Amino acid sequence: MKKTLFDKVWDSHVVKSIKDGPDVLFIDRHMIHEVTSPVAFLGLKKRGLPVLYPERTFATADHNTPTINQHLPVSDPLSRNQLKALEENAKNHGISYWGLGHKKNGIVHVVGPEYGITQPGATIVCGDSHTSTHGAFGAIAFGIGTSEVEMVLSTQCIMQPKPKKMLITIDGSLNEGVTPKDVALFIISKLTTSGATGYFVEYAGEVFRDLSMEGRMTVCNLSIEMGARGGMVAPDQKTYEYIKEREFTPKGKEWDKAMIYWKTLYTDEGSIFDKELTFDGSEIDPMITFGTNPGMGMSITKAIPSAKDIEGGASTYAKSLAYMGFSEGESMIGKSIDYVFIGSCTNGRIEDFRAFASVIKGYKRASNVTAWLVPGSHKVLQAIKDEGLLEILENAEFKLREPGCSACLAMNEDKIPAGKYAVSTSNRNFEGRQGPGARTLLASPLVAAAAAITGKITDPRTLI
Amino acid sequence: MAYDSFKKLKSTVVPLPIENVDTDQIIPARFLKATERKGFGDNLFRDWRYNQDNTLKLDFVLNNPIYSGKILVGEHNFGSGSSREHAAWAVYDYGFRCVVSSFFADIFKNNCLNVGVLPVQVSSDFLKIIFQSVDQDPKTDLTVDLPSQKIMINSTGESEIFNINSYKKENMLNGYDDIDYLNNIKAEISNFASNTPL
Ligand code: SF4
């Protein structure tokens, strides 16, 4: 029987299948953070249950952490309390904990791959929908709710029906100025935010083969924004080179043993998917969103579509444009912006800072722009310094903040004020996502950089 | 037993005919700082319900006294975005026991089932009929019958059968959750764990 990459990993993790019900799926790696785990630990306590395999769970603080003065006590008492709860829960149950200030601290989906927790062929879950990021390594990785966090802590399993399978193939090559973020926003704009609901996606074709691991992570990260549970790319030489010698990857004989498994992780020729889509890499432009969900994206040079050209209800569309303060048919280029946010588990890795720096080098930050540059982890922060990017940023009047989720979800103080426009490299442009009333324009680090130095929406290709 | 069992619910509804309602709207991130499951209902649809100065937005349906009930009727792609189970908690804590839509986002639907809110997916046509009925008479009530998997508009008798897998149905009917189930098969799990490659 021919199997897809997804089938191979899923099927080998099924402890038990329930008739007309879900599969009991074994979870290899579990990542937790302060926001979606405390109630799960409380549940364990109420039921008197231990953590079954504490060595399979990893805790980091990220969602709720300040991005300046991290050495000082967290000022918001609620956030402080939540961080403390994570620390205590991790300690009480023997779970490794990379809290605020720890040198391995960072956004959960950035540090997982950095330390080799993320491995091909693994099942990985976290109480965060962007867990799909780890699929870049050929893992099945997806977000779960807090009840499921409790399940994984107490039994290392969750119960889910096997999703349907979708194959997205993009061949050809990408044009200059087009980044992995644009590829993802392009796909989502074609599929809509619900187009892949119920599916698990495999990305294949030259474009994904050619992407770096960071680029694959960006694309897999955004799988959830088209409704998919997750997305994955078959592991290859690039994958193995990336993970080799990282702290939690197998070493020596164990590595050789793992390699035997990893080499089986590809989709057999002739396998059947429930849905297949094909695009050409050369049709993708730098993208930007104009509405209040990630499916409302378009080529940066185009005009905002009118309601009659899109799927879905006209009233919802009108509500969305009204929130953004935009009208149908307007061009996005030249619109004035107020904030730029570089960061998040989507575009907060070193490659993203390199891309940003490549555009702003030699320019100055526009005076009307407030820029928040937030590395995804301490490791990224260190690399920015080591590679000399910090100097480039500072010369252009940009300041670097400390790692965390920051304005991606605006749980800490990093909130975009009501009515202001933010060009953001994060993943969600929902109403209020970056602060009550904030207006988010999702884009790549290159588009964000072009906006940061010109103060308005600018095609980065005119600057590079 | 993690929540009250669900068998048959007869109730008026709160209509929310907006597509792609994401979980950031259902409960914004700044209200996720609790370490206990308490008080989330107060912040359900916070930014649609309240102005920034905490006064009520009178045009929002939850602030309209004409509409009430234990059934929330949403539009296509309800519950997209963030995996926060807090969204399902907020729906439950506010007093809803059932959400009706023509299409649910995956994680939200799963979370609902795990906390005792029944997600009922109906056809777009039937959803339209529900909205029209409620539009004509805000006191329209529905019966959601889990054992027979049927949803009915009581005044007209129009109804539709909905899907739910028999395992989840059993759980909802009895108020069981997956944690109970998994803890009962721990021996099988540890046996499996000792043979995993990673
Ligand atoms: S950066 Fe944003 S999307 Fe990523 S884990 Fe943090 S809050 Fe979630």
Share of chain A above pLDDT 90, in %: 97
Which of A165, A198, A205 has its CA nearest to residue A183? A205
Q: What's the token pair of residue A229?
A: 């549970």
Residue A194 to residue B182, Cβ atoms within 8 A: no
Q: How remote is the CA of residue B90 from the centroid of ligand 1, in Å?
A: 21
From the list B24, B84, B183, the residue facing A36 with the nearest CB is: B84
Among B residues 48-107, those touching chain A with beta carbons less than 8 Å apart:
52, 75-77, 80-86, 88, 103-107
Nearest residue of B to residue A78, measured between CA atoms: B33
pLDDT along chain A (464 residues), means of 10: 97 96 97 97 96 98 95 93 97 97 97 98 97 98 96 97 98 97 98 96 98 98 97 98 97 96 97 98 98 97 92 87 97 98 98 98 98 98 98 98 97 96 98 97 98 98 92
Give B96-152 as a DSSP string: --EEEES-B-HHHHHHHHHHTPEEEE--HHHHHHHHHHHHH-TT-EEEEETTTTEEE
Type and span of the H or E element at A201? strand A199-204
Task: State the Rg of chain A over Cα.
Answer: 21
**Measured distance CA(B76)–CA(B19) in Å, rounded:** 5
Residue A82 to residue B33, Cβ atoms within 8 A: yes
Q: How remote is the CA of residue A344 from the centroid of ligand 1, in Å?
A: 6
Task: Give the tens place of pLDDT for each residue, B75-101.
Answer: 999 999 999 999 999 999 999 999 999
Amino acid A84: pLDDT? 97
Q: What residues of chain A lie within 8 A of the CB of B165, using their CB? A: 20-22, 161
Residue A257 to residue B197, Cβ atoms within 8 A: yes
Task: Give the tens place of pLDDT for each residue, A92-114.
Answer: 999 999 999 999 999 999 999 99
| Planar angle of CA A131, A136, A142, nearest 5 degrees | 25
Amino acid B198: pLDDT? 83
Q: What residues of chain A lie within 8 A of the CB of B115, using their CB? A: 147
Task: Give the tens place of pLDDT for each residue, A248-303.
Answer: 999 999 999 999 999 999 999 999 999 999 999 999 999 999 999 999 999 999 99
Q: What residues of chain A lie within 8 A of the CB of B26, using their CB? A: none
Q: What residues of chain A lie within 8 A of the CB of B185, using their CB? A: 15-16, 24
Tell me the CB-side half-sphere exposure of residue B142, using CA atoms within 13 A.
32
CB-defined contacts A:B, below 8 A: 205
Return the residue whose CA atom lies nearest to atom 2 of ligand 1: A408
Cβ–Cβ contact B192 with A under 8 A: yes
Q: How remote is the CA of residue A135 from the centroid of ligand 1, in Å?
A: 16
Cβ–Cβ contact A155 with B under 8 A: yes
Cβ–Cβ contact A140 with B under 8 A: no
Domains along chain A? 5-160 (3.30.499.10), 287-462 (3.30.499.10)
Type and span of the H or E element at B178? helix B178-184
Nearest chain A Cα distance for residue B27, angstroms: 10
Cβ–Cβ contact A156 with B under 8 A: yes
Among A residues 161-180, those touching chain B with beta carbons less than 8 Å apart:
161, 163
Task: Give the tens place of pLDDT for each residue, A407-460.
Answer: 999 999 999 999 999 999 999 999 999 999 999 999 999 999 999 999 999 999
From the list B20, B47, B82, the residue facing A129 with the nearest CB is: B82
From the list B22, B36, B52, the residue facing A39 with the nearest CB is: B36
Residue B24 to residue A432, Cβ atoms within 8 A: yes
Query: H helices of A294-429, where?
Result: 314-324, 344-347, 350-360, 378-386, 389-395
Amino acid B185: pLDDT? 96
In the structure, which protein residues have their CB atom closer than 6 angstroms to any atom of ligand 1? A 62-63, 107-109, 128, 130, 344-345, 405, 408-409, 426-427
Q: Which residue has the tokens 């996005």?
A: A332
**Measured distance CA(A46)–CA(A53) in Å, rounded:** 19
Cβ–Cβ contact A411 with B under 8 A: yes
Strand pairing of A96-98 and A57-60?
parallel
Among B residues 131-150, those touching chain A with beta carbons less than 8 Å apart:
none
Nearest residue of B to residue A311, measured between CA atoms: B19
Backbone dihedral angles phi then psi of residue B152, each to the nearest 5 degrees: -135, 140
Cβ–Cβ contact B173 with A under 8 A: no
Residue A20 to residue B167, Cβ atoms within 8 A: yes
From the list B2, B75, B85, the residue facing A36 with the nearest CB is: B85
From the list A85, A128, A316, the residue facing B35 with the nearest CB is: A85
Q: Classify burial at B65, counting beta carbons within 10 Å of its beta carbon; exposed 0-12, middle 13-18, buried 19 or more.
A: exposed
Sign of CA dihedral A359, A105, A139, A44: negative
| Cβ–Cβ < 8 Å for B107, A145 | yes
Task: State the Rg of chain B over Cα.
Answer: 18
Q: What is the DSSP letter of A161?
A: P
Q: Which residues of chain B have pLDDT under 50?
A: 1
Which of A223, A166, A234, A159 has its CA nearest to residue A193? A223
- Please give the model's pTM, rounded to 2 decimal places: 0.96
